[in-house]
Amino acid sequence: MAYESIEGKTALITGGAQGIGLGIAEAFAGAGASVIITGRDVDKLGAAREKLGGNTETILHDIRDVEGSPGVINKVVELRGALDILVNNAGVGLFKPVSETTLGDFDLMFETNVRGLFTLTNAAIGELKRTRGNIINIGSASAKRGMKAWSVYSATKAAVLMLTELWAKELAPDVRVNTLSPGGVDTPIFDKAFGGKKDEVMPRVHSQHLMKKAGTPADIGRAALYLATEDWITGTNMVIDGGLYHMI
């Protein structure tokens, strides 16, 4: 395997203003990449940009706005002249028993985690072929072994796994495509998923891992940096989960 420096490369990270996306943005920026993050909240994007430093750009985009996807990629090329790495990170998880999951919940998760990811990738393929770039799709350990009440969220992430595998086949050898599947990572997603009760939920999340602790966005950032820079890895699913898989 050859290590490809990320220095000077342009990375687009969806949902990069907080949580795992911000952890990845910090790892990439720290290694010298030019980072562009997307999100729906101008204030959060501005705060993240400040944290990440001068070379960071932000693009306001709701990943469910599929008509807007080509415009996002065009903007990246306009700003930086190229797109080298696409990190499809933006995602949403609502953890509810199937009997309580509405069609609206189902659509929100599939439109964000699958439809939006598909559309942005579709728009980026031409540019990534030109730069011989790579794609990292953020999946989840739950794609392979989920918990009760995670059925729809886990199904979206199982879809991401298969999209990754087949895109890797289709796009090789020009573009590498990999999934990065975290276990429980301490981010605001738990507040959104459990009605603002993250503090109550986190002790249980920590205990669900063999390592007895949830991951951090920085843990996922380091793994993403590895996938972005090792040029002989494609079509893989890197599970980074503190041993969660063996506990559920």
Ligand X SMILES: NC(=O)c1ccc[n+]([C@@H]2O[C@H](COP(=O)([O-])OP(=O)(O)OC[C@H]3O[C@@H](n4cnc5c(N)ncnc54)[C@H](OP(=O)(O)O)[C@@H]3O)[C@@H](O)[C@H]2O)c1
Answer yes or no whether residue 105 interacts with ligand X by CB under 6 A: no
- Least separation in angstroms between residue 130's CB and ligand X is 25
Binding status of residue 155 toward ligand X by CB under 6 A:
no
Beta bridge partners of 35: 11
Q: Which of 117, 113, 94 is nearest to 105 (CA)?
A: 94
Residues 5 and 32 sit within 8 Å (Cβ to Cβ):
yes
Closest to 178 (Cα-Cα) out of 142, 225, 144:
225
Is 173 or 212 the residue whose CB approaches ligand X more closely? Answer: 212
240 binds ligand X (CB under 6 A): no
Work out how close the CB of 3 gets to ligand X at its nearest, in angstroms, rounded to a whole number: 25
187 binds ligand X (CB under 6 A): yes
Of 76, 78, 110, 71, nearest to 94 by C-alpha is: 110
C-beta of 6 vs 160, nearer to ligand X: 160
Comparison of 85 and 185: residue with beta carbon closer to ligand X: 185
One of 39, 146, 221, 242 touching ligand X (CB under 6 A) = 39
40 binds ligand X (CB under 6 A): yes
Q: Choose which of 188, 197, 200, 246 interacts with ligand X (CB under 6 A).
A: 188
136, amino acid identity: I
Q: Is 189 in the site for ligand X (CB under 6 A)?
A: yes
Of residues 61, 46, 140, 146, the one with CA closest to residue 96: 146
Name which of 108 and 131 has its Cβ closer to ligand X.
Answer: 108
Q: In the structure encoding, which two tokens stand for residue 176, read together?
A: 């590498």
DSSP sequence for 29-70: HHTT-EEEEEES-HHHHHHHHHHH-TT-EEEE--TT-GGGHH
User: Which of the residues 61 through 100 are near ligand X (CB under 6 A)?
Assistant: 62-64, 89-93
Question: Could you give the C-alpha distances from 38 to 126, 130, 144, in angstroms and in order?
Answer: 20, 22, 28
Q: How far is the CB of 1 from ligand X (least distance, A)?
A: 26
What is the CA angle 222-193-227, rounded to 5?
A: 20
For the bound state, the minimum distance from the C-beta of residue 44 to ligand X, rounded and expressed in Å, comes to 5
Query: E strand or H helix at 167, and its extent?
Result: helix 151-171
Q: Which of 3, 153, 226, 245 is catalytic?
A: 153
Does 137 sit near ligand X (CB under 6 A)? no
245 is catalytic: no
Q: Which residues bind ligand X (CB under 6 A)?
A: 14-15, 17-21, 39-41, 44, 62-64, 89-93, 112, 138, 140, 182, 184-185, 187-189, 192
Catalytic residues: 153
